[in-house]
Every structure is written in C-alpha cells, then in structure tokens.
C-alpha cells in the first residue's frame, strides 16, 4: 500500500506540473493568468507539506504503538517475576520463622533478612510496573487511538480528494479554453468555459481553506506526538532509574547483613591456642597448692582474692568437674592454677574452665554481678 501511495503521489505531481505548463502556454489569451499559476504553486507546496506531515504522524503513531506493546509485554513479564519473587520471599520467611537448626541461628537470621529484602524489591518492581502502565502505556495508547489524529487524517484525505477534483477541473478548463480559441465568438462555448472556470474557482477556494485546516491540524498532531512521546520516554527512563537505585540500596543493605552473618560463622569460636594443650583440670586438693589468681596475674582483688571475668569464647564442659560457659556471661573467678585452668562460679554452678577463655573485668554493672549468682 505504501508503494502504491508513493506512485500515486508522484503521478499527481507530474499532472500538476503539466497543468502549470498548459496554463503558462495559454495564459496570454485572457483565460487563466498569472494568478492561477501562483495559486497552483501554493497548493502544490501545501500538498507536499501535507504529504510529509502525513508520513511523519503515521511513523510517530507506529512508534507510539511499538512503545505501548513493549511496555505491556514488560508489565506482563514483570508481573510474573513479582509473583515468583514474592513466593521466594514467603518461603525464606517461613524457614526463618521455623528455626529448625540445632547448632545456631545464623542462617535463620540471614533467611529473614533475605525475605524482607526480597519483599521490598518486589514491592518496588510492582510500583515500577504500575508507573509504566499509568504514565507511559495508557497516555500513548490514548494518543494512538485519539480523535485529534483521526480528525487531522480525515481532513488531509478530504483535501487530497478535493485536490484531485481540482486537477481534473483544471484540465477541463484548459480544454474548453482551446475550443474557444478555435471557435471564437461561439456563445455556447464561452458560457461552458465560464461555468467550468467558476467551478474551478470554487474548488480552488474550498481546497485552499481545507488545505490550510488540514495542514494546521496535522502540524498540531505532529507537535503533540513529538512532545508527548518524548515526555513518556523520559518518564519511562526516570521510573527505571529510580527503581534500580532503590533496588541497589536494598541489595547493598542485604549484602551487608548477610556478610555480617557470614563473618559470624567464619570467625573463630575458640581462642587461638592450637599449639597449646591443656592438662586435665586439677582436683580441689591440687588447686589448694596452686597459685592464687591475684598473685599470678598481678591484678587487684578484694579481701577474698576473687575477681570477675567476662566469657570471650564459649566452652563446653567435658566432665562433671568442669563449668560450661557462653559468650557474654560473667564468672566469679576464685582461683587460677599454673596449668592454665581457673576455678569459678557462674549462675549458681561451679567448676573448672580454661582461663584464656575469659577476660578480667574490674568494673562491672551491678546487674551483671547479680546475674552471676
């Protein structure tokens, strides 16, 4: 259809040029002077402008339709991704809430962090899809199907049909002018010529008015298409930029939380004493012959020689004489022996434990002291 339309346009332009040549040839006879030629040239240029406007608005319309289809496809695909991501978030949250692991809760905390971040990311994706639908696809679809474009195209088509009629009438006037010159003084031929010229003038007058209206309408539509399509594209880009910025913030925060949990797993859970071997804890009789903690460690102690220590590494008792410790607990240390063991009490239980697992604390809140007992 496009090829046929271009060929028809070229034929009309050739006919218009031939008409102008005929009018110039017979212009000196008093029928169709220079004013007619000027009018035809103006209409010819107007016709060319309308042709260009028609092609421009049609191309922009197709581009708008392509954007709408692309955005709609993106929304469909994105909605499916939101559904999958939401399901993943729910599964991660379920695992974190159940907390079935017996050796720690590191993965539990990480899964909950992942669930929250994934839910936030899918929420941001949903907001993006909503923005693309309401601020990009819908306005462009309205322009593609809107009345201004169709009305302008109808005006251009009416102008094109009227221009064809005027071209045919111009040829008819040229023929009658030739007959009048061949048969001068024939009143019937003169009357028919005058009637044909009057009809041509009416057609030209109407065609000029309609051409100006069509050109103005098409130019307005072209301007609207260019501006609005550009604005919709800017809106699309800004929405995607904001979306990716928010997603990046969520991912960076999530990565930090998960790295922290990873470090908790990879961090040594016992002091660096690989090359040190502890002898079994001493009996209470042997401990009485040992060195008092205040003497060995050059620290101050109260009248009884006791002092507080904070557990820095966990310790699991391996016999009834040993004391299990958890990180953060406080122990009343009553004695330290040369073998590296200490004897103390924590939460009403007494026993032996490696002295290197604790760190002395001279100033401790009263609440911590109460916890010891």
* Model pLDDT for residues 290-337, shown as the tens digit of each residue: 444 334 444 333 434 688 888 888 888 877 788 888 888 889 898 888
The pTM is what?
0.57
Beta carbons of 190 and 81 less than 8 angstroms apart? no
Share of the chain above pLDDT 70, in %: 75
* Model pLDDT for residues 62-74, shown as the tens digit of each residue: 999 999 999 999 9
The helix (H) or strand (E) run that includes residue 308 is: strand 307-311
* Two structure tokens written together for 268: 């040594």
> Hunting for tokens 């990879």 — which residue is that?
266
- The answer on pLDDT for 102 being more than 60 is yes
* Model pLDDT for residues 145-179, shown as the tens digit of each residue: 988 888 888 888 898 888 888 888 888 888 888 88
* Model pLDDT for residues 205-262, shown as the tens digit of each residue: 888 889 889 889 999 999 999 999 999 999 999 999 999 999 999 999 998 888 877 7
Report for 269-273, 285-289, 361-365: range of highest mean pLDDT = 361-365
Distances, alpha carbon 42 to alpha carbons 56, 93, 296, in Å:
21, 74, 113
Distances, alpha carbon 330 to alpha carbons 308, 342, 346, in Å:
7, 14, 7
Which pLDDT band, with edges at 50, 70 and 90, does 27 fall under?
very low
Share of the chain above pLDDT 90, in %: 29
The whole-angstrom distance between residue 223's C-alpha and the CA centroid of its chain comes to 27
CA angle 130, 134, 135 (to 5 degrees): 110
pLDDT at position 91, please? 93
CA atoms of 29 and 60, how far apart (whole Å): 48
- The answer on pLDDT for 343 being more than 70 is yes
For the chain, what percentages of helix, strand and coil (3-state, to nearest 5) are there? 70, 10, 20
């Amino acid at each position: 259809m496009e090829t046929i339309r271009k060929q028809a346009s070229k034929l009309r332009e050739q006919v218009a040029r031939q008409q102008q040549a005929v009018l110039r040839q017979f212009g000196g006879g008093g029928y169709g002077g220079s004013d007619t030629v000027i009018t035809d040239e103006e209409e010819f240029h107007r016709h060319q402008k309308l042709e260009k406007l028609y092609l421009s608005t049609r191309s922009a319309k197709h581009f708008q339709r392509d954007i709408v289809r692309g955005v709609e496809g993106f929304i469909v695909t994105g909605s499916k991704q939101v559904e999958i991501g939401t399901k993943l978030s729910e599964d991660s949250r379920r695992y974190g809430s159940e907390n079935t692991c017996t050796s720690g809760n590191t993965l539990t905390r990480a899964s909950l962090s992942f669930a929250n971040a994934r839910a936030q990311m899918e929420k941001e994706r949903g907001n993006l899809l909503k923005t693309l639908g309401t601020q990009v696809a819908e306005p462009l679809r309205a322009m593609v199907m809107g009345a201004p474009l169709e009305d302008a195209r109808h005006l251009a088509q009416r102008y094109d049909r009227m221009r064809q009629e005027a071209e045919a009438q111009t040829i008819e006037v040229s023929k009658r002018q030739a007959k009048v010159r061949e048969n001068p003084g024939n009143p019937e031929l003169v009357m028919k010529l005058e009637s044909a010229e009057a009809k041509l003038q009416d057609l030209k007058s109407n065609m000029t008015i309609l051409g100006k209206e069509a050109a103005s309408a098409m130019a307005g539509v072209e301007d609207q298409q260019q501006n609005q399509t550009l604005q919709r594209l800017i809106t699309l880009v800004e929405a995607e930029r904001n979306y990716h910025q928010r997603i990046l913030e969520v991912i960076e925060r999530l990565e930090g939380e998960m790295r922290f949990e990873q470090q908790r797993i990879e961090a040594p859970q016992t002091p660096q004493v690989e090359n040190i071997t502890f002898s079994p804890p001493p009996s209470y009789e042997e401990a009485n012959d040992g060195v008092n903690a205040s003497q060995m460690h050059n620290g101050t102690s109260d009248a009884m020689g006791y002092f507080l220590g904070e557990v820095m590494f966990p310790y699991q008792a391996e016999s009834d004489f040993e004391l299990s410790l958890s990180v953060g607990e406080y122990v009343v240390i009553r004695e330290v022996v040369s073998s590296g063991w200490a004897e103390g009490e924590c939460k009403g239980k007494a026993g032996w434990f490696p002295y290197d697992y604790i760190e002395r604390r001279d100033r401790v809140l009263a609440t911590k002291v109460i916890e010891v007992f």
